[in-house]
Amino acid sequence: MQKILVTGAKGQLGSELQTISKHYNQYEFIFVDREELPLDELDKIKAGLNEIKPDIIVSAGAYTAVDQAESEKELVDCVNHLAVAEIAKWAANNHSKLIHISTDYVFDGTSKTALHENEKTSPINWYGETKLRGEQAILSYLPEGIIIRTSWVYSEYGNNFVKTMLRLMNERDSISVVKDQIGAPTYALDLAHVIMKIIGSEKWVPGIFHYSNNGETSWYDFAKAIHEISGLVCEVNGVTSDQFPTRAKRPKYSLLDTTKIQKTYDVVIPNWRDSLEKVLRHRLLNKN
């Protein structure tokens, strides 16, 4: 029985993978978070991997607090870059497969069309820079690895835009949301299913892939959709990035072209609004 190790077990993607793992009895799953495999303590990573001896590693653990990353640069680089390098080296030396999760924030946001996997990278914040360094480490140490860049991830788990919007819409009469940043949301459960499809596929195609839900939107229109589906009484106003400054810059346009993963692994990607309705109606709203 093949052993699958998932890092970032308590994160959004890790939690969704745990949810669906019961449907994949042909694998042994080991889910670890910072307590079991601290990505900020490099000396413990190799020892931990030697103990677990996974056949497949899903590298979903990361430092994702984009604004806070600007003031914790050494820690962020350790988790998003140096730890990933250690995992890639171990996988290469032990003939293990690796699927690593990266981000649309490796791009600068100046594109006007959906971004292909081979587009020039140029991060504009430290989080994006460290995630790019992690990608480069995998390409260097483990060319057979798979990197999946995704964007605007949300689920019923952890902290994310959807849950923040629901909370604010419950607490306030009106909110303001940036309208000039364009991309596509990703429901973590959809991504989890794709990862398991790749693992179960008869072919292993190394390299970089892009995955997000289909369609494109702005954060403002994303918030409007949350507002409409939830039925909460709150005014949602659109503002520009200049009106809503953040410590870390965000790319203005980071829509990912997902053609490659669709064709390579025969993936059918749901529209972002359909997935949003699914998670709101069936999961999140039932909790409120």
Residues composing the chain:
288
Interval 67-92: pLDDT, tens: 999 999 999 999 999 999 999 999 99
Question: Would you say 83 and 42 are in contact if contact means Cβ atoms under 8 Å apart?
Answer: yes
Residue 21 lies in a domain: yes
Which CA distances in Å does 172 have to 184, 235, 243, 280? Answer: 26, 9, 19, 19
- Residue 210: CATH number of its domain: 3.40.50.720
pLDDT of residue 282: 80
Give 87's contacts (C-beta < 8 A, 6+ positions apart). Answer: 7, 45, 49, 57, 59, 98, 100
**How many domains is the chain built from?**
1
Domain contains 121 = yes
Of 24, 27, 105, 127, the catalytic one is 127
pLDDT at 286: 67
State residue 287's pLDDT score: 59
CA atoms within 13 A on the CB side of 10: 8
Q: Domain range holding 12?
A: 2-160+185-214+254-270
CA distances from 165 to 10, 11, 243 (A): 21, 19, 18
Taking the whole predicted model, whether its pTM rises above 0.95 is answered as yes
Residues of the chain with pLDDT under 70: 283-288
- Is 287 inside any structural domain? no
Q: Is 127 a catalytic residue?
A: yes
What is the phi/psi pair of residue 137, to 5°? -65, -40
The answer to whether residue 259 is domain-embedded is yes
